[in-house]
Structure 1
Amino acid sequence: MTSLPGGSDTGASTAEPQPLVCARCGARSEGPQPTWTCSVENGTRSYLCDACARENLRAIEGRLDPAWW
């Protein structure tokens, strides 16, 4: 039988999900946030709340460096 890493048969404990923090304004999520945007820059994952994502949509879609916007 094969399973994915971290599956239930590996004995790994499931950690509590950490709240997301917006990389621009510092807003914290209280649960799943399907409207937030996830970005990977230089191998680091960061999240933007829906308000910051809307304000910077053109820069995000244009793939401009976050330092620029």
Structure 2
Amino acid sequence: MATCDFCGTTPVGDGDQDPPPLTWTTAVENGRQRVFCDACSREHLRSIEAKLDSEWW
């Protein structure tokens, strides 16, 4: 089950959904895949595009 690595939100709907919803973003930080919900993705879009690690947001 996907969980936002920034705010801890889980997707609404099917509880067995393994991949994150299409509106969520993924990133690789220090070799680890991170998943961010659509709200966190919109709020921190410029930081994501600048490839800043989420610890700097």
The two structures have a TM-score, normalised by structure 1, of 0.67
Aligned to 2:23: 35
User: In structure 1, what residue type is equivalent to 2:32?
Assistant: T
Match of 1:57 among 37, 42, 45: 45
RMSD: 1.2
Higher relative helix content: 2
- Alignment gaps of 5+ in structure 2: none
The two structures have a TM-score, normalised by structure 2, of 0.80
Q: How far off is 1:64 after superposition?
A: 1.3
Moved over 4 A (4+): none
Q: Which has the larger radius of gyration?
A: 1
Q: Aligned partners of 1:28, 1:42: CA distance in 2, in Å?
A: 23
Q: Which has the higher contact order (CA 8 A, sep 6+)?
A: 2
- Alignment gaps of 5+ in structure 1: 1-18
